Amino acid sequence: MRAAVLSAYKEPLSIENVPDPDCPRDGVVLKVLACGVCRSDWHGWTGEHPRVKPGQIGGHEYCGEVAAAGPAAQYAIGDCLIAPFILACGACANCRSGESNACLDQRLPGFTEPGAFAEFVAVPRDHNLARLPEGMTPTLAAALGCRVTTAWHALTDRAALQPGEWLAIHGTGGVGLAAMLLGIALGAPVIVTDIVEEKLAHARALGVEHAIDASDGASAERIREVTDGGAHVSVEALGFPATQSASLACLRPLGRHVQAGMPVGHHAVQQVDLNAVYMRNLAIFGFRGHACPSLSFIAQPDRSRARRPFPDRGTGGQALGRKRRTRRIQRRHSTGNRGHCRFCGIGGRSMSNLSSTDKTRPARPAR
């Protein structure tokens, strides 16, 4: 097959003929229908991503058609699927508690194994995948497994954004625009900032009311003016010191900062205004990827038909049936008639106790 290979950092990718991938026993080989380009691909190309080495085939935002299926695969040849960029094991303690984006045994096509900048890509652990919904193009769907689900989980899980709360987003790249659109859909008034006027104009065309030019370094002050005191939630979507600083500075007391941008290389270590965190009682949330059931939830409007990503639900039911289960874990899972998560099968007697009317968390979208 043909693939785009990182032969050397900061050099054009090399289009090469490479061997077709072997089919994983518990997964599939996808014929790539579409693949996005993420900023983390750029980090890998520059040599600043710690996992990406020369010889790597990048590409982790992809959608494809099953060309081969292993004997333990859940999907069949001809199925069109969307993949998350983290392929979780489904068996470790973090996966079983609903924290699949913190899986202790992650598989990462595009970073540590061949990705989707190719005609075909091997995808193990196909319990992580979701079907391509009818009417959705592969080009649109390819973004779901990284930027969209990352933004969704950052807003609904980490920041617990409420309707009516002010949301500020610093950077209008892939994850920034996804957070903007999702914030609007969740009923939040949204402000975006960038230093490129074309990107701000694009954000306005997509429906945002407030788009601020941050090139003069005064974006935080203007956000506080527009919001009459500061944003409730601020998403840093770039990974730069300037946007991180502005994100914290624009928050009102008790505000929540979510670090969705990837700080690597020379931006990996940054100064943080901890006095502002202390004086204004701010919360800082780190975030990477998404957890069960973000991809299936977004890709499948009818959640009852979404596949369960994790097998062996009995084990998970026992693990999560303990009294120490937290409300945050309960909220993450969508319960079915028997109190089990429709996506991963995990469940227990107390999971159904959390009503959608619980005002401490945003209600689930209507079916």
CATH number assigned to the domain covering 2-142: 3.90.180.10
Asked if pLDDT for residue 323 goes beyond 50, the answer is no
Going from the C-alpha of 125 to that of each of 26, 46, 70, 120, 142, the distances in angstroms are 5, 29, 10, 16, 18
Residue 192 CA to residue 339 CA, distance in Å, equals: 39
Partners of 186 in the β-ladder = none
pLDDT in tens, 207-266: 999 999 999 999 999 999 999 999 999 999 988 899 999 999 999 999 999 999 887 778
Going from the C-alpha of 10 to that of each of 13, 49, 50, 167, 212, the distances in angstroms are 9, 12, 15, 35, 32
Q: How confident is the model at residue 291 (pLDDT cuts 50, 70, 90)?
A: low
Asked if pLDDT for residue 366 goes beyond 60, the answer is no
Cis peptide, bond prior to residue 293, ω within 30 of zero: yes
pLDDT in tens, 36-87: 999 888 888 998 888 999 999 999 999 999 999 999 999 999 999 999 999 9
| CA 279 to centroid of chain Cα atoms | 31
Q: Is 250 within 8 Å of 214 (Cβ atoms)?
A: no
Residue 6 CA to residue 10 CA, distance in Å, equals: 9
pLDDT in tens, 150-207: 999 899 989 999 999 999 999 999 999 999 999 999 999 999 999 999 999 999 999 9
Looking up tokens 């994850």 gives 175
Q: How confident is the model at residue 270 (pLDDT cuts 50, 70, 90)?
A: confident
* pTM for the full predicted model: 0.78
Residues in the chain: 367
Angle at 28 between CA 71 and CA 64, to 5 degrees: 150
| CA 245 to centroid of chain Cα atoms | 22
Given this model, what pLDDT does residue 49 score? 86
Q: Where are the alpha helices (DSSP H) in 211-284?
A: 219-226, 241-249, 274-279
Mean pLDDT throughout 138-150? Answer: 91
CATH number assigned to the domain covering 148-286: 3.40.50.720
Q: Is 83 within 8 Å of 73 (Cβ atoms)?
A: no
Strands (E), the chain: 2-5, 14-17, 28-36, 61-69, 80-82, 120-123, 130-131, 167-170, 190-194, 210-213, 231-236, 251-259, 283-286
Q: Is 101 within 8 Å of 153 (Cβ atoms)?
A: yes
Q: How confident is the model at residue 343 (pLDDT cuts 50, 70, 90)?
A: very low
Partners of 169 in the β-ladder = 192, 235
For the chain, what are the domain ranges?
Answer: 2-142, 148-286, 320-367
Residue 16 CA to residue 216 CA, distance in Å, equals: 44
Residue 44: name the closest of 136, 99, 119, 112 by CA. Answer: 112
Which token pair is 347?
A: 């469940």
For the chain, the straight-line distance linking the first and the last C-alpha, in angstroms and rounded, comes to 41
Residue 227 CA to residue 166 CA, distance in Å, equals: 7
Residue 152: name the closest of 72, 31, 260, 22 by CA. Answer: 260
Given this model, what pLDDT does residue 292 score? 58
pLDDT in tens, 118-138: 999 999 999 999 999 999 999
